[in-house]
Structure 1
Amino acid sequence: MKRIEISEKAWERLETQKREGESPSETILRLIRDQLFMDGFGAMSDVEGFEKSVKNTREELDNDLKGRSSR
């Protein structure tokens, strides 16, 4: 086990993120895992054609949803 020192402000922010029954260590691990997961969403942005494909798919889904809601 390691001990770290953090500011009052950092502790207060950590406390706002804690879930019921979660230790500070568990909270930190969850937040780091969630951030690493979200970072992965930008990984494909450099792949040729990816952005256009996502845009087209979004437009198709939007059109499909509009069609369903007007029925």
Structure 2
Amino acid sequence: GDAGQVVKTAEGFLAVRWDFPQGTLSLALNVGNSTQPIPDLPGETLFAWPQAASELIPNAIVVRLAKREAE
């Protein structure tokens, strides 16, 4: 649909994905005080701060895009 799907939440943490005909856009944001594992988010990392990793430290973000193959 037109809304994102919440993948995971915790105090100060949110991971969400949006499915489009062309692919999937995902975002994980940690503004909490605890490091959080990044859930399974498909695709290549478009942006990560401070850097791409398997965990998000406090005040970190990662954005990924998975392009759908043309049929």
Return the index of the structure with the highest Cα Rg.
1
- Common fold, TM-score beyond 0.5? no
- Per the shorter chain, which TM-score range? under 0.3
What TM-score does the superposition give when structure 1 sets the normalisation length?
0.20
Question: Which gives a bigger RCO, structure 1 or 2 (Cα 8 Å, sep 6+)?
Answer: 2
